[in-house]
Amino acid sequence: MGPWRNSSSGKILWLCIMPLMIVLGFMVLKKSNWDIGYSINYSWGSPINDSAAQEPVSSVDRRWRTVDSGGQVAEVPSTPPPVVLEEDMDMQQPHISYVSHGFLGVELGSLRYGIFITPVKDRNFTTTMNGSDLFLLKNGNHDQPTITKVPRNFSGLDKLESSLVQARAAIREGQSGDQINDPDYMPYGPIYWNSTLFHRSYLEMEKRFKVYVYEEGEPPLFHDGPCKSIYAMEGNFIYYMETAKFRTRDPERAHIFFLPMSSTMMVRFIVNRRSRDHWGPLKRTLKDYIDLVASKYHYWNRSLGGDHFIVACHDWGPELSKAVPNLFTNSIRALCNANTSEGFKPYKDVSIPEILLHDGTMRGATGGPSPRQRGVLAFFAGGVHGPIRPILLEHWENKDPDVQVHKYLPKGVSYIDMLRQSKYCISPSGYEVASPRMVEALYTGCVPVLIKDHYVAPFSDILNWKSFAVIIQVEDIPNLKKILMGISTSQYLRMQRRGKQVKRHFEVNFPPKRYDVFHMILHSVWLRRLNARIHDSN
């Protein structure tokens, strides 16, 4: 190297190279991202550079694509498009960018499965399992995390976002760090996409998450809801959210804001059955409530609802949310009726279980005999409505003693006893995709059989439903018995055992217990908030 640099030709060449290196170095520095804020972004398995997601965005293209083996970017059919609202055409978008840390998932062969919430211009994914929020990422090389300058004068929002950055860092450390002992429960096994990271995420939620509950609104439409019947989860969540340790009375400390409205109570007290206009009074009531909140506080307008959420278990809840376009498009909607063909967006909305509580408790609804004492292969009984149940009854009603399918149970036959006598319990969609039958099956030790279109199963960002339930396509209903008989005894016993393990996440406790259904709903909301960065418009 020395003789070459001392030669005349080497000196001339060196003088030519040096300016070029300086120019290239300047260009690289200029192109680097030095935006205000601190960001470390993660993927399950390896870090992902998400510098593009740090920019405030006026709109986000959330279609999904996949990269084939040749590296070409090809559009793939996504989930059915959400309902288009006329009001959305000129609607302002929130100052939100999505952080791609995808920290929950499992690696199978050369494919990685996990949660990735990010615009299509930044990542390439395809939806799987009928529109669930599990995305498939082809393996590849990823850039290192991007660290940007931190402003000296933090605003309240900056501090909140910084705490979420710290939470994401702690969650990722949990992937390779020592497991933290938990005296109540240690998540484990294939019922989770990634039990270790779910556990660390849950602990971070308990440590940091703060929810502000708006005090405006009068019962029974607000701050109230049914705690019995098929819509019990709506009222139970509203009640316990107002008394939970996660609630803060200081909105400046809140990561998210809860709108304690009850769609069930609105339908019960506002709808005039003799009027042709059912939706008008309901939607005006909700719109007036949002207008009141927006006029009194600046938080709704700051994010256009992006850091707000509602819980609705009534079938009309999703339609009712359209009363305010920003609520429908930007806010987190925790819905029992999680139907992607009706506008449910898995990357921001939350699927919650529909649980039938006859007397407001689980009394008499749980427990069942061992698998050896279950003599019925499959069981269903219920009303014939919607497009799927008529097909089920056409092929199996009174056709086979092993597949007990009934429109009405014979007199003297107990529904709950039939669940306990059956190995598999069928849960088909009716008019709506939600059904309490999935949870009833888990409560009684019966393996759920899901026959649904466009449905996102509850907590499917955390739970691997295929490990403890059977998922059958509508066109396979004629082959129902063949499919179930084709499952080996050992596999059935594994699914039944896993169902007993996962049951704790669907239990309704008074007061709530760690990892139960109340905390799982809140954790799903926490995940969505953790994946979004709110940018102050000021």
138 belongs to a structural domain = no
244 lies in the same domain as 348: yes
Predicted pLDDT of residue 453? 95
Contact 481, 538 (CB under 8 A): no
- Is residue 103 in a domain? no
Length of the chain, please?
Answer: 538
- Assess whether 464 and 349 both reside in one domain: no
Report the C-alpha gap between 18 and 270 in whole angstroms: 77
Question: Is there a domain that residue 517 lies in?
Answer: yes
Residue 498 domain flag: yes
Number of domains the chain is built from: 2
Question: Do 216 and 341 lie in a common domain?
Answer: yes
Domain that holds residue 208: 196-358+511-531
Residue 46 has a CB neighbour count (10 Å cut-off) of 13
Q: Which of 409, 407, 440 is nearest to 425 (CA)?
A: 440
In a domain, 72, yes or no: no
Which residues are CB-neighbours of 476 under 8 A, at least 6 positions away?
A: 483
Tell me, yes or no, whether 347 and 211 share the same domain: yes
The model carries a pTM of 0.77
Residues of the chain with pLDDT under 70: 1-16, 19-20, 22-154, 177, 536-538
Query: Please, is 210 exposed, middle or buried when counting C-beta atoms within 10 Å of its C-beta (0-12, 13-18, 19+)?
Result: middle
The answer for residues whose C-beta is within 8 angstroms of residue 85's C-beta and 6 or more apart is 322, 325, 328, 329
**250, burial (CB in 10 Å: exposed 0-12, middle 13-18, buried 19+):** exposed
> Which CATH number is 380's domain given?
3.40.50.2000
Kindly state whether residues 348 and 227 are assigned to the same domain.
yes
158: buried, middle or exposed (CB in 10 Å: 19+, 13-18, 0-12)?
Answer: middle
pLDDT of residue 11: 60
Is 422 in the same domain as 341? no
- The pLDDT of residue 52 is 30
Whether 200 and 336 share a structural domain: yes
Same domain, 304 and 322: yes
What is the spatial distance between Cα 514 and Cα 485, in angstroms, rounded to a whole number? 37
340 residue type, one letter: T
The helix (H) or strand (E) run that includes residue 16 is helix 8-31
Q: Running DSSP on this structure, what letter comes out for residue 85?
A: P
HEC per residue, 132-153: CCCEEEECCCCCCCCCCCCCCC
- Note the pLDDT of residue 60: 28
What pLDDT, in 10s, does the model give residues 70-124? 322 222 233 333 332 333 333 456 666 666 444 443 332 333 333 333 322 222 2
Is position 410 within any domain? yes
Query: In terms of domains, do 381 and 354 share one?
Result: no
| Whether residue 296 is found in the same domain as residue 387 | no
Residue 453 inside a domain? The answer is yes
In a domain, 442, yes or no: yes
pLDDT at 92: 54
What is the model's pLDDT at position 397? 95
Q: Is residue 361 a contact partner of residue 378, using CB atoms and an 8 Å limit?
A: no
Q: Are residues 302 and 410 in the same domain?
A: no
pLDDT of residue 276: 87
Triad 291, 292, 295: Cα angle to 5°? 80
Beta-strand relationship, 532-534 and 470-471? unpaired
The answer on 297 and 335 residing in a single domain is yes
